[in-house]
A and B are shown apart, each in its own frame.
Chain A
Amino acid sequence: ILNVEQSPQSLHVQEGDSTNFTCSFPSSNFYALHWYRWETAKSPEALFVMTLNGDEKKKGRISATLNTKEGYSYLYIKGSQPEDSATYLCASPSGNTGKLIFGQGTTLQVKP
């Protein structure tokens, strides 16, 4: 069974701080790595879908890298803002059915 792990479980930072989280996944039979942001009382929102080793993607102040050989992805937030407060989930498909296996998430709290 595919096992996806995220760390840390929670993070509290001050406004303006930069931060990063880790997602670990099995490197064998890799298909893709998804990052989602989930704000309280809202729908999880897709940030990135990454497929190639060495991929780097950026969306505003958020960026992500992918290392499929060693089985990890980093999500970076530059200059955190209170509106970045959310749970960040990573997920990897199990096999080729599209079934996503999620990590437990990293909950970020940004204090003004």
Chain B
Amino acid sequence: EAGVAQSPRYKIIEKRQSVAFWCNPISGHATLYWYQQILGQGPKLLIQFQNNGVVDDSQLPKDRFSAERLKGVDSTLKIQPAKLEDSAVYLCASSLVWSSGYNEQFFGPGTRLTVL
């Protein structure tokens, strides 16, 4: 079974530039998550999709971050414009369903973003 795919793996940009990350979840997984992991901290959920609808985006900085999951499969996360504090690893995860929190989430390898 193929895992969660993410690209690019690494990205270096200057502040105020734009950047986009792509995620392809495990086939058949209805739920997709984007997490931000800043050095020294645990991953923090940015946005959660159920199929192509948003379940939770309460911690997404909507003035600069956007995400979409067209057709309920692949997803893109965009930052425009980037700030220094956006330097982090961006993890994508997927799961079969989202209810109750018992279901295992499968993670991609992440995109390491450095903003200079």
Determine if A99 and B101 form an interchain contact, defined as CB atoms under 8 angstroms apart: yes
B108 touches A43 (CB 8 A): yes
Separation of A103 and B37 alpha carbons in the complex (Å): 11
Give the interface size bracket for B toward A. Answer: 20 to 34
Enumerate B62-116 residues with CB–CB distance to A below 8 Å. 91, 95, 97-110
Nearest chain-A residue to B112 (Cβ)?
A: A41
* Closest residue on chain A to residue B4 by CB atoms: A43
**In the complex, A98→B97 CA distance in Å?**
8
Query: Out of A31, A36, A97, which one reaches B56, CB within 8 Å?
Result: A97
- In the bound assembly, the distance between CA atoms of A102 and B95 in angstroms comes to 17
| Contact in complex: A89, B42 (CB < 8 Å) | yes
Query: Is A59 positioned at the interface, with any CB of B under 8 Å from its CB?
Result: no
Report the bound CA distance from A9 to B91 in whole Å: 21
Are A97 and B102 closer than 8 Å at their CB atoms? Answer: no
